[in-house]
Amino acid sequence: MAIRSVAVTNTLEEFRTTFNSLGTDVGDISGLTTTDTSDIVAAINEINSAVTTAFTIADDTSTTQQVNSGDVFRISSGSNITATVSATDTLTVALNSTISGLTSVSSTTITDGTLSINSGSISSAVNITATGTTESAIITENSVRVATRPFAIAQSIALG
């Protein structure tokens, strides 16, 4: 688009031609697809407001942060959590299938698909391997106490 200017020495016809060319440079107002089609400035202001709108994010403690237009909203992964951005505006936050570094797990019942631990009792276990001392352990199978010390096991085998 050329810079349009009218000199004081221009004729009325030169002014008319320059003025009409300005309308062609700017475009036909009926072609606006914005909500406000009253004039070019209103349409530009509407578009500017739409693309410069900020939004606010908040965490569980009600700490907030405003994300302004042009800022990058980053999701940080942490231990055992993965955040992945993919096409069409998708954010996936996932718990890793292998979890490490936990110091405790709290739940009423923990189940791995077969074995269940509930209130200190283990059920549906196929094999249990103990390391260290088992002197205070009481193991039962079908409500019958099972010996855990080598001598007691040998004695029960000998006595049948």
Tell how far CA 19 is from the center of its chain.
54
pTM: 0.41
In total, the chain counts a number of residues equal to 160
- Per-residue pLDDT tens listing for the chain (160 residues): 568 888 999 999 999 998 888 888 888 888 888 888 888 888 888 888 877 778 888 888 888 998 888 888 888 888 889 888 888 888 899 998 888 888 887 888 777 777 888 877 777 777 766 666 656 666 666 677 666 666 666 666 776 5
Backbone conformation region of residue 143, classed left if phi is above 0, alpha if psi is from -120 to 50, else beta:
left
